[in-house]
Each structure stands twice: as structure tokens, then as C-alpha cells.
Structure 1
């Protein structure tokens, strides 16, 4: 069991102090302050967060992100090594044999629609952008299969252009945190853009997504094992008994996440 006092300020007794429910921030200034506190805490929780899709080139990442729709990153990463070895350029995708491509991506689900998008992406890049995936939002979103979410993933991780990626995890979390009541991803993105400095956008996205996958689950968040509980007006949505909550924490960061709230790794 960890000794001393965890970063959260809770005693490392295995039974964290009772968490007082935070109030939801009601004004734009309060939401901005809360967002920046959350960003700082997320940086302590997940200092090494990265895009969880494997890629080498911007085109690889665009294709992987298309495949990730309604599919786990783990599954996509199982499919893409063979795919990227077979298709190395926009021309390769543009001229792909549809049946072969569909078979290679079948396990990611919705493979026919995804094949259409990927072939269309290759043709669009080849015909309109001289074979180079564009590195700006306005051009990227004109390509098949590329919406703002996909474009921000590609820009932030392949081009170093800051962007907030509003996937289901991030959208769920920022609503639970009281940062927005919006459900439309574009509106959520624009509200968060106003709260956080651009330099934080990409990493805030990664870290919030990590937190959503590992701690703040959709159906049963691990509230009593959450490092952000003191800042969350939705605390209590999941188990408040430490042992039960600890069992819900997932991922290879689990020992670190539990130690941060004064809990030992469950036996």
C-alpha cells in the first residue's frame, strides 16, 4: 500500500476520505477555471498519454481513425499492420480491389462503409491534393470519411496542430464534469476551445479519453477510486465504496491510478 499522502491530498489508508460533491460551475469563468484544474490533474494522472492508434504516416492515422469508428483501438491495431504494408500511398487506396480491402478490414465492423470511405479518401487526396494528405482542418473535412473528430486526431498527432477530439468518452466526461451541457460534438469542441489554451487541446483530449476508458466508465464509473472526484459534480454516479470502485479501474496504469487515491492494488 502506498505510504504518505497521495497527490490528491487523501490519506493513504486504503479508505479515502469522504468526498464532498463539487458544485457544477455555472459561469463561463467558473467553467474555464474548472477545465484548467481538470487539465492539470489529468496531466498528473496520465503524464504519458498518447494516441492509442498505431501509425507511421499521416495517411496511416487517417485510415486508422476511419477504422476506429464503432470499433476499439485494440482491434484496429490488430488489423492495420497488414493493411499499411499492403497499401502505402493514396494511389494504392484509390486503386484498391474492394473485395480484398473489405476482407482485410472486416473485423473492424461496418467494413463496406469503411472501405468506401478509405477508397474515396485515397482518390480525393490523389486527385485534389497532389497525393499529400492536407495538414489543415478546412481541407481535411472535405475528404471522404474525415469529419472534425477524425481531422483533429490527424492534425494533433500527425501534424502537431492542436485540436480537441470529441469522441464518446470525452463528451461523456465533460458533461459529467459540468463543463458543458451540449451533446453536439462540434459545439462541445468549440466550448472547450474557449476554456483551454491551444497548447493543451491535443493532450487534454488524450488524457480525458484515457480517463474515460480506465476510470470514468459509461455505465459504472469508479467514483471512489477517481483522482478527479473532488472536482466532479457527478461523483456518486458509480460505487463510492473503495474496494468496489477499485475493481472497476482498468488498464496498465491501474497501480498508479489506485496509488494516487490511496488505494492498494486489489489482490
Structure 2
């Protein structure tokens, strides 16, 4: 049985439809990427588990994708199975103001779900384009808030195909970092929220959305902040002070609105963006002796 036949058998056994040769640039907010040989959307945790067991058995690699809002993908054919968790996107309200969200749930939808139930604690997430799973994995945040501030627990599928439950304190969150292993797949997350006046929650959401719109290039294709903020400083401020705002490589441009954003303004290639990232790191190092660390995730060979 050749590889294609093997993969077809796996997807059929797991009960998961498969799309072939999917152009991944349409699955990222940067609008750059090659093709996925196989792209699947498991409908349930059970089907995901069965899929992963079969993939592990035949030593077939895979990658998890959410909204692709913090991701830049090389323009080539990816032979790993690309697994989207978008069908695992349920959000529910339980007792004691605890909200449970699937990993594939858009973070912005979670924020507005909480607001409709007069629950505060997620307002800063308004407008963040990623999913709950991606946000938890990287401890996403904005305006001084981080997702760990509202998190209670996380359920994952580990590399041994077992379900684990982690309380927040066991995850050792740091700035844009958690202790999840690369092979861990986040399934659901629980958040402890607080009852509050619905009008004031909505006002805060509008405030944060306005600040985001005024200070970030939301109308252009980007992957959000490219670099983590160095201790005691801001990457965007350093890039701006280095004179790089508006600097261009091919179709990729350092945003004039926020220097920690690279925008795909002129049909940029993966190489355009990578060259620009390298140029920023080199210039900031020469100017400030600070080595910028990527916040964005890069899929490349």
C-alpha cells in the first residue's frame, strides 16, 4: 500500500473527511503559505484521538492549525497532515461563572459570549483573531492582561494519546510561554469569570477594540506581533527608533502604524517576510545590543 492509499485508509477509518492539496495561505491571516498534502477537520475528540493513534502507528507527522493568526508558512508542499480544530469550538457556561471553550473556538467569540452573560475577565481579548487553543498555548495577552489571568484548567491530548487535565498552576505560564510539550494538543480550557454589569463590560470591549484599531494595522494582512517584548522594553518601540518603520522587502512591509507588525501589502512571499525579520533582528542588535525573540510561529524546513 503506497502512502496515499495508507492515508486514505486512515481518514476513512477515523471517519474524517480529507481535503488534498489545500492552499494554506487562505488559512493564515498573513496570507502566505504553501500547500497541505492532507488537511482534515476532526468533528470530535474521539475522531481526533483515533486519527492520531493511526498517524503515530505509521509514523506520519502532523501539525495543528487554528486561525493561523500567529503563523507564517513556507511556500512548499507540506507532507505532514494538517489538523484543524475548528469543529471543536463549543462554548458553554457552567456553575460558579466558569466558562468552558473548545480549542477551536475563536477567542473573540469567547469574549463576546462572556459579555452576553454579563461575565467579566476576557474583555482584553476582544479583537484578538486567534483561537482558544493557540491563545492558551502561548499565553496570549494584550493591554497588560494575559490569558492565564482567567484560566482555571486545560484538557489536552498528550503524545502518548492519553487525556490529561492540568490546573493552571501546573502549567508554569510566563510571558508568551507555557510548559506544554510540542506534541500536546489542547482540547478544551476552563475560565473563571466574574459577574459584572453587562453595560460596563461592553464599554470595556469597545474601548479595547478602539485602541487596537487605532494602533494596529487591522485592515492589512499580518501575523500580529512578530517579536516578543524584551524585558523592560517594547519591540515595536525599538524597531521604530531603529528607523525601520515602512521598511520593505519585496511585498512585505514593516507597518507604519505599529513597527512590531509586518504586513503583506504587495503579495509578499515567505522569503520576503523572513528577510525582513532577519533585517529587523540585525538592525536592533546593532543599535541596542538586544536580541529580539520571535513571537510568531514559523513553519519551514
- Tell me the TM-score normalised to structure 1 length: 0.26
Of Structure 1 and Structure 2, the greater helix share is in: 1
TM-score (norm 2): 0.24
Relative contact order, CA 8 A, sep 6+: which one is greater? 1
Higher strand share: 2
